[in-house]
C-alpha cells in the first residue's frame, strides 16, 4: 500500500537538488551503520570503541547516528580501533546527456 509519505518522497526525489541532498544523507548514514556493525561484530560497546580510538563515547554515538562533517582523521582512528583499514574513494556520478548540455550552456 502506497502512503502519502511514499508519494511525497517520490515527488521530492524528482528534484535533482533534493535527490543530491538525500543521497548525501544516506551516504553519511551508511558510514555510521558500517561503524556500528563492525563495533557489534567485535563485541565492543561505544565506550570501549571510544577508548580504543582515543575519543568520547558520545562522539562515537553521534558518528554512528549521522556521520556528517566527520574529519577523515577521525574515521581513520575509528578504523584503526576496529582493526580495519579505512578506504575513501571518488565515484563519478552519472549525468544524462541533457544535463551535461544544460550545464554547458551560458546563463541567460
pLDDT single digits (tens) 26-47: 776 788 899 999 999 999 999 9
Q: Report yes or no on 43 lying in a domain.
A: yes
Q: Report yes or no on 37 lying in a domain.
A: yes
Residue with cell 535527490: 19
Q: Where are the alpha helices (DSSP H) in 1-108?
A: 4-13, 16-41, 46-53, 57-65, 72-81, 97-104
pLDDT single digits (tens) 62-107: 999 887 788 999 999 999 999 999 988 777 777 666 766 666 676 6
| Separation between Cα atoms, residue 104 and residue 53, nearest integer Å | 46
* CATH number (domain holding residue 83): 1.10.260.40
What pTM was computed for the model? 0.66
Show the domain range for 53.
4-87
Domain count, the chain: 1
User: For 32, what's the count of Cα atoms within 13 Å in the CB-facing half-sphere?
Assistant: 18
Amino acid at each position: 500500500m502506497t502512503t502519502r509519505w511514499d508519494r511525497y518522497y517520490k515527488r521530492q526525489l524528482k528534484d535533482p537538488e533534493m535527490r543530491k541532498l538525500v543521497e548525501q544523507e544516506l551516504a553519511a548514514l551508511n558510514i555510521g551503520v558500517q561503524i556500528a556493525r563492525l563495533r557489534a561484530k567485535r563485541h565492543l560497546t561505544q565506550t570501549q570503541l571510544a577508548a580504543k580510538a582515543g575519543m568520547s563515547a558520545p562522539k562515537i554515538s553521534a558518528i554512528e547516528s549521522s556521520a556528517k562533517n566527520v574529519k577523515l582523521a577521525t574515521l581513520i582512528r575509528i578504523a584503526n580501533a576496529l582493526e580495519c583499514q579505512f578506504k575513501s574513494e571518488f565515484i563519478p556520478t552519472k549525468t544524462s546527456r541533457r544535463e551535461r548540455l544544460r550545464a554547458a550552456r551560458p546563463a541567460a
